[in-house]
Amino acid sequence: MDLTWFVSFLLAFIISSFIYSTWNSIYRGRNLPPGPTPLPIIGNALHIKRGEMVKSLMELRDKYGSIYTVYFGHYPIVVLCGYDTVKEALIDRAEDFGGRGRLPTIDQFVKGYGVVFSNGNRWKDLRRFSITILRNFGMGKKTIEERIQEESSFLMAEIKSQKEQYIDPTRFLVQAVSNVICSIVFGNRFEYSNDSFQKLLTMFSVVFQDQSGVYGQFQDMLPTLMSYVPGPHKRLNRSMKRVTDFIRERIKMNEESFDPHSPRHFIDCFLAKQKQEKDNPNFDRINMVFTILNLFFAGTETVSTTLRHGLMILMKYPEIQDKLHQEIARVIGDSRVPNIEDRSKMPYTDAVIHEIQRFSDILPLNVPHATTRDVTFKGYTIPKGTDVYPLLCSVLQDPTKLACPTKFDPNNFLDDKGCFKKNEAYMPFSAGKRVCLGEGLARMELFIFFTTILQHFNLTSKTTFTEEDIRPVMTGFANIPKFYQMSFVPRV
C-alpha cells in the first residue's frame, strides 16, 4: 500500500516537474515584455483579484510599467498603459496593432462574424460599409440627427408622464438610445410601453452585467475551465441568441417590402450590397445578423450608461447643472429643439460631456486587440496574433495629462478664457484602425439627449451623492455605475 502511494507521488512529482520545466522554458524563451511569473494551466489567474480585473491590471502597471505581459491560461496578453504607450501602438503603429483579440465570453457565440469581432478582409469590408451608412449616405430621407431629435422628444414626453415621481431612469434611457439604433437599422422605433421590446433590452443589460461580473471575468481568463463551472456566464449564449432571433425575424419581414432602388435603413442598404456583391461571403446573412447585433450591443449600453452616469454626476454637482442650464438658455432657449450646430457655441456643455465620458470610463479595458504580424515594440518581440489590451482607463486617468485624474472636473477641457480645449487623455472611443465606428453617432446622441433633458428639467434626488457614489465601479469589461432614483422637475 505504502509502495503504491510512494509510486503515485513520485509519478505526480515527475509529471508536474516536466510540465513546469517545459512551460518555464517556453515562457522564458520568449522576448515578451516582463510580468508576473505565470503558472502552468492557470497562468496569472492568481494575480487577478476576484472580480477586480481592472484594478488588478492597474496595480500590475505600478509594478511593471507601461508595458507588461500577463497570462490568461497559456495565452500571453500584452498590456499597454498610459497615453504615450497606447498612442504609440494604436496610432503610430496602427496596422501592427489593428487586429481583434480574443474575448471568450463573446467569441463562443459570435465566432468571428460581424464587424466588431472579425479580422482581415471580412472586417475591412464590414467596417467600410458600416461607416458609410452611419455617415448618412443613401439611407432614406431622415438624417441621423433628425432621428435622435425625434427620439429625444418622445423621451421628454415619457419623462413628463412620470409627474416628478422618484424613478430609476435606466429603462427610459436604454429605450431611447436603443430606439435610435432601431430607427437606423429597421427604420422604426418602439413604444416605451412595448413589453416584448422591453424584454429584449433587458437581455442587453443582462449580457453586459454577466460579462463584467466575477464569473464573466474568470471566463475571459480561463474559458476551458469555466465551461465546466455553473454560473451566470452560462446564460450569455442564451441571451444573445434571443437578440439574434429577433434580428433575423426583422430582416425576413423587411425582405418582403425591399426595393433596391430606395433603401430606407441599414437592413435595406445591406440587402442592396448583397445583390451588388453576390460572390462576396463577407456580406452574407450571418455577417449581416452579427453586424446588426454588434451595432445594438456597441451602441445601446455604452451611450445609455454614459447618460445614466452623467445625470448622477450633475445631481452631485448642482452648480455645474446650473451653469449648463444658463448656457442652454443663452444659446438654445426653451422652445426649439437642440441641434448639433449648437455644440460649437456651447463650450461649457461640450467640456462637461467630455469630462463625463472621461470620468465614467465605460470600457476601461478597451476591446481586446491583437498583433497582425510579428511586431518589435519597445525592444520586445510580440508574435503575430498575440492579444493586446490597450487599457483605456490608464489613458483616461493619465496623471501626465490631468492635474487630478480621479476628480470630476470640466476644467480638464476648458482654457483660461472658458473656451473648449482638447485634452489627450480623452480616449473613450479608443484610437487608430479599430477606433469606435459609432463615435460620431454617440457624441451626437450624448449632446442632444443631455441638452434636451436639461432644457426641460431640473434634476433632483433624495440621495445626497458622495464622491464615492459617482466613482465608476471598476470591475470587468464594462463599468456599470450604481443604480439610483431621481426626479425630473419641469423647468417651464
Q: Tell me which residues touch ligand HEM (CB under 6 A).
A: 100, 115-116, 127, 181, 294-295, 298-299, 302-303, 306, 362-363, 366-367, 369, 392, 428-430, 434-438, 441-442
Paired residues of 79 in beta bridges: 68, 389
C-alpha 368/C-alpha 89 separation (Å) is 13
Q: Based on CB atoms, which residue is closest to ligand HEM, 236 or 362?
A: 362
Least separation in angstroms between CB 128 and ligand HEM = 10
Indicate the DSSP class of residue 481: P
Least separation in angstroms between CB 143 and ligand HEM = 15
CA-wise closest residue to 428 among 368, 350, 356, 351: 356
Q: Based on CB atoms, which residue is closest to ligand HEM, 226 or 444?
A: 444
Q: Based on CB atoms, which residue is closest to ligand HEM, 45 or 268?
A: 268
Contacts of 83 (CB under 8 A, 6+ apart): 395, 398, 400, 401, 424, 425, 427
Q: Based on CB atoms, which residue is closest to ligand HEM, 86 or 346?
A: 86
Least separation in angstroms between CB 392 and ligand HEM = 6
Least separation in angstroms between CB 449 and ligand HEM = 11
Contacts of 350 (CB under 8 A, 6+ apart): 343, 344, 413, 420, 447
Residues 250, 267 contacting (CB under 8 angstroms)? yes
Q: Based on CB atoms, which residue is closest to ligand HEM, 47 or 122?
A: 122
Least separation in angstroms between CB 39 and ligand HEM = 29
Q: Based on CB atoms, which residue is closest to ligand HEM, 82 or 428?
A: 428
Q: Which three cell numbers stand for residue 349?
A: 456643455
> Using alpha carbons only, how large is the chain's radius of gyration in Å?
24
Using DSSP's 3-state secondary structure scheme, residue 193 falls into: coil
Least separation in angstroms between CB 244 and ligand HEM = 16
CB hemisphere CA count around 44 (13 angstroms): 21
Of all residues in the shown chain, the one whose CB is closest to ligand HEM is: 438
Least separation in angstroms between CB 301 and ligand HEM = 9
Q: Which three cell numbers stand for residue 330?
A: 443663452
**N residues, the chain:** 492
Residues 240, 205 contacting (CB under 8 angstroms)? no
Q: Based on CB atoms, which residue is closest to ligand HEM, 77 or 437?
A: 437
